[in-house]
Structure 1
Amino acid sequence: MTSSTPIEPAFLDSLKWGADGLIPAIVQDAESGDVLMMAWMDRPAVLRTIETGQTHFYSRSRGQAWHKGGSSGHVQHVEEIRVDCDADVLLIRARQVGGACHEGYRSCFFRKVDDSGGLEVSGSRVFDPGKVYGSGH
């Protein structure tokens, strides 16, 4: 007898999910090693990421699932998923198409703290967010 329900990977049960059912996921460029972004995943997002080979997350502010690149086309093709030593953070190594940041940068970490304690932009935009997401962005 076969089941129509897919079998969940065993590692999911070893993860330390937060009280809200979420786990932080850091996305790293598989080629350069640059950190592209951090987002939250729930169990369905991890499963959907494994199933599709592209990253899926859970938005705490919107209270819903989202597919990275779903509206922009700037998807992330997953090369591997790693689990940290405490099993409470995921590291996703991926090939980024376009920019990871909704503000138009390759990485969400495009600002650095300068010597005076202010923020300095250290990256260049790779796309115009107004054209991708509309003028309301």
Structure 2
Amino acid sequence: MPKFDDKGLLCAVVVDHASRAVLMVAFMDAEALAATRATGLAHFHSRSRGKLWQKGESSGHVLEVEEILVDCDQDALVLSCRPAGPTCHTGAPSCFYRRLEGDVLQPVKT
């Protein structure tokens, strides 16, 4: 089973189930993992708000979880998901829509 850190969290990397593109990174606690497993929809722990949140609860852009992978140290997860719309709160398909080139952030061309 996953091993949570001293704050009760672990890192969760979300990838697109079809393309394998990295969509976002968030944190999960035991409650978020349990809610994700129970509903099939990605839930996370908001460190800033200190509470559980379901991805897409206000936008409708939920993440349907197809598979949960656990790394060798059991302290990080990869959620393979089918997104129902853009994943990033900016409206971008992925939160990783910029690349670092020198000292400048440049948009990723899709």
TM-based fold match above 0.5: yes
Unaligned runs of 5+ in 2: none
Q: Which amino acid aligns with 2:103?
A: G
Q: Across the two proteins, how many residue pairs are aligned to each other?
A: 110
Percent of aligned positions that are identical: 47
Unaligned runs of 5+ in 1: 1-10, 125-137
Counterpart for residue 92 of structure 2: 105
Contact 1:76 1:94 in 2 (8 A): yes
Distance 1:78 1:94 in 2: 4
Structure with the bigger RCO (C-alpha within 8 Å, sep 6+) is: 2
Per-residue CA shift, 1:22-76, capped at 9, x if unaligned? 0110000000000000000000100000000000000001111100000000000
Q: Aligned runs of 1:1-137 on 2, under 5 Å?
A: 11=1, 15-114=2-101, 116-122=102-108
User: Which protein is bigger by CA-based radius of gyration?
Assistant: 1
Q: CA RMSD in A?
A: 1.1
TM-score normalized with structure 2 length: 0.96
Distance 1:17 1:67 in 2: 19
TM-score normalized with structure 1 length: 0.77
Stretches of 4+ aligned residues off by more than 2 angstroms? none
Q: CA deviation at 1:16?
A: 2.1
Please identify which structure carries the higher helix content: 1
